């Protein structure tokens, strides 16, 4: 039996092929996934749709993101590959609500509308839907095996093996010792974080810091050449990076590299795939930067940095998750409970509190300390409330539109009021999601090896 290759389909993309030893899958939150296949002619594919329909005039640039524009092309490409119209079958999954149990979610049911459009298009095309699991609050994975054309819809969180043992819950003293074992933040990284916080840095001062540290310099160039940043360009020196990426991207790159070492954690813990926690951080950072630029309330570089560091407390708790995972898993099934509440119940402390303690210990700027501390409840932050609200929204969007990286159940409570705090309205949410550049969703198990 040939080994099955795994192919991950990010939001706004699709994959179509004839029979081969491969499983194609999409990790779905609010997005909708459709598997289309013809078992007789042995052709199939999966599409991962971000939104129901084009949002603005710029949407024409990315027709593959929207159900109305992408579905007809997807069906045609399967037919072009040799499928017969009469034998096509479809399976639909995903379309979860943005925030659990929120009234505005019902009018803003992005996933539900995407699923409805998919159903209408398939019905018009005369393609039967053999299985459909959409809506609800949970993330799932839709997979299609291109050898036997069987589909699977399963929860993204791995189910624990049945165990009669009582899990060993670490004491607060053990958690504190684990915090002590975390290496201090490199001086160069701290210097760069402070420059970014002051918001009057020149690129020269950042580049000077980077040049002082050969490891950071080499890693900056390595990350600059990853798919996430290079977009196909070859970057050999810091000067190349500056010319090709520009000041904003270079600063983001340097900050990412400076703190990346903390995410080198072993075990499965919070990560759902290799490097998942770091990639969740990178995604939240990029979305936070986009929101900061749109809201014009806070520095883009600072929002990026806060996104990168918001879940730093999870690095400490990560090593204890495996032993208490059955508890965790049970709680994850409860849509009214956040990961943070579960952590507090099990460990007596949650990741935002640990992040706050670490940030204080490392003498981070106050803005970052408070944003990390209150990223799940931004209302509790009075001074840096804009940064904290931007961070909270970025975290919510990345967990709903790019799930599958790590364990997180962000809750959409007070969505309207939180958007208002940064001068945005619920009606703009669709535009915000639409404005996220496609590469934000491309940090995937396939691309992780480059930067993990
Ligand atoms: Fe968090
Ligand atoms: Fe997060």
Supply the pLDDT for residue 452.
Answer: 31
Half-sphere exposure of residue 322, counting CA atoms within 13 Å on the CB side?
8
Q: Find the 149 Cα to ligand 2 centroid distance in Å.
A: 35
Q: Find the 201 Cα to ligand 1 centroid distance in Å.
A: 28
Given a contact cutoff of 8 angstroms between Cβ atoms, the answer to whether 38 and 78 are in contact is yes
Give the predicted TM-score (pTM) of the model: 0.87
DSSP string, 151-180: EEEEESSPPPPP--SPP-PPPHHHHHHHHH
Q: Find the 309 Cα to ligand 1 centroid distance in Å.
A: 10
Strand 43-49 versus strand 13-18 pairing type:
antiparallel
Q: Which two tokens stand for residue 318?
A: 């990560």
Q: What is the dihedral of CA 303, 308, 314, 319, to 10 degrees?
A: -170
Given a contact cutoff of 8 angstroms between Cβ atoms, the answer to whether 151 and 174 are in contact is no
Residue among 120, 129, 64 at smallest CA distance from 90 = 129
Measure the CA–CA gap between 96 and 317, rounded to whole angstroms: 28
Supply the pLDDT for residue 224.
Answer: 82
Q: Find the 281 Cα to ligand 2 centroid distance in Å.
A: 7
DSSP string, 96-128: --SSTT-HHHHHT-HHHHHHHHHHHHHHHTT--
Given a contact cutoff of 8 angstroms between Cβ atoms, the answer to whether 384 and 392 are in contact is no
Q: What is the pLDDT along the chain (452 residues), one digit of tens a residue?
A: 668 898 889 899 999 999 999 999 999 988 999 999 999 999 999 999 999 999 887 767 788 899 999 999 999 999 999 999 999 999 999 988 765 555 555 556 888 899 999 999 999 999 999 999 988 777 899 999 999 999 999 988 777 766 656 677 888 899 999 888 887 777 777 888 888 777 766 777 777 778 777 777 888 888 888 777 777 778 888 778 777 777 777 788 888 888 887 887 666 788 877 788 888 998 899 899 989 988 888 888 889 989 999 999 998 988 888 888 887 888 877 777 888 888 998 899 999 999 999 999 988 899 999 999 999 999 999 999 999 999 999 999 998 888 888 887 777 778 888 888 888 887 788 888 888 877 788 765 444 333 33
Q: Find the 392 Cα to ligand 2 centroid distance in Å.
A: 8
Query: Please, which residues have CB within 8 angstroms of residue 214's CB and are 6 or more apart in sequence?
Result: none
Measure the CA–CA gap between 48 and 69, rounded to whole angstroms: 13
Residue 275 region by backbone torsions, left for phi larger than 0, else alpha for psi between -120 and 50, else beta? left
What are the angstrom distances between the C-alpha of 102 and each of 94, 364, 411? Answer: 18, 35, 9
Given a contact cutoff of 8 angstroms between Cβ atoms, the answer to whether 228 and 286 are in contact is no
Supply the pLDDT for residue 103.
Answer: 57
Ligand found nearest the CA of 339: 1
Given a contact cutoff of 8 angstroms between Cβ atoms, the answer to whether 327 and 170 are in contact is no
Q: Treating both helix axes as pointing N-terminal to C-terminal, what angle do 238-260 and 214-224 enclose, rounded to 10 degrees?
A: 110
Ligand found nearest the CA of 279: 2
Measure the CA–CA gap between 53 and 121, rounded to whole angstroms: 13
Q: Find the 385 Cα to ligand 2 centroid distance in Å.
A: 17
| Dihedral of alpha carbons 272, 156, 374, 172, sign | negative
Ligand found nearest the CA of 378: 1
């Amino acid at each position: 039996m040939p080994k099955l290759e795994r192919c991950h389909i990010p939001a706004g993309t699709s994959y179509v092929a004839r029979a081969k030893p491969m499983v194609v899958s999409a990790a779905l939150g609010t997005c909708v996934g459709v598997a289309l296949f013809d078992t007789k002619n042995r052709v199939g594919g999966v599409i991962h749709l971000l939104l129901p329909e084009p949002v603005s005039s710029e949407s024409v640039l990315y027709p593959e993101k929207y159900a109305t524009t992408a579905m007809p092309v997807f069906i045609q490409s399967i037919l072009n590959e040799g499928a017969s119209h009469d034998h096509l079958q479809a399976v639909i999954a995903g379309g979860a609500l943005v925030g659990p149990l929120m009234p505005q979610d019902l009018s803003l049911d992005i996933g539900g509308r995407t699923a409805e459009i998919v159903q209408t298009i398939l019905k018009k095309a005369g393609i039967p839907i053999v299985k459909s699991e959409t809506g609800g609050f949970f993330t799932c994975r839709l997979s299609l095996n291109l050898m036997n054309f069987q589909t699977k819809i399963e929860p993204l969180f791995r189910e624990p093996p049945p165990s009669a043992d009582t899990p060993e819950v670490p004491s607060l003293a053990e958690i504190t010792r684990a915090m002590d074992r975390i290496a201090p933040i490199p001086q160069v990284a701290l210097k760069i974080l402070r420059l970014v916080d002051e918001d009057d840095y020149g690129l020269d001062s950042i580049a000077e810091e980077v040049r002082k540290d050969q490891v950071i310099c080499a890693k900056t160039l390595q990350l600059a050449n990853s798919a996430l940043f290079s977009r196909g360009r070859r970057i050999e020196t810091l000067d190349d990076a500056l010319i090709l990426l520009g000041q904003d991207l270079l600063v983001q790159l340097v900050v990412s590299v400076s703190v990346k070492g903390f995410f080198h954690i072993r075990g499965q813990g919070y990560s759902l795939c290799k490097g998942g926690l770091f990639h969740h951080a990178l995604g939240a950072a990029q979305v936070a930067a986009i929101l900061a630029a749109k809201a014009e309330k806070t520095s883009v570089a600072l929002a990026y940095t806060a996104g990168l560091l918001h879940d730093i407390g999870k690095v400490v708790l990560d090593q204890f998750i495996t032993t208490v995972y059955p508890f965790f898993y049970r709680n994850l099934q409860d849509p009214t409970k956040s990961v943070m509440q579960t952590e507090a119940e099990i460990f007596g402390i949650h990741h935002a509190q640990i992040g706050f303690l670490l940030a204080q210990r490392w003498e981070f700027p106050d803005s970052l300390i408070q944003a990390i501390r209150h990223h799940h409840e931004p209302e509790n932050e009075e001074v840096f409330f804009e940064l904290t609200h931007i961070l909270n929204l970025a975290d919510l969007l990345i967990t709903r539109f790019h799930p599958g990286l790590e364990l997180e159940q962000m809750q959409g409570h007070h969505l309207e009021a939180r958007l208002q705090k940064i001068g945005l309205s619920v009606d703009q949410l669709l535009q915000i999601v639409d404005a996220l550049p496609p590469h934000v969703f491309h940090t995937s198990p396939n691309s992780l090896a480059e930067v993990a």
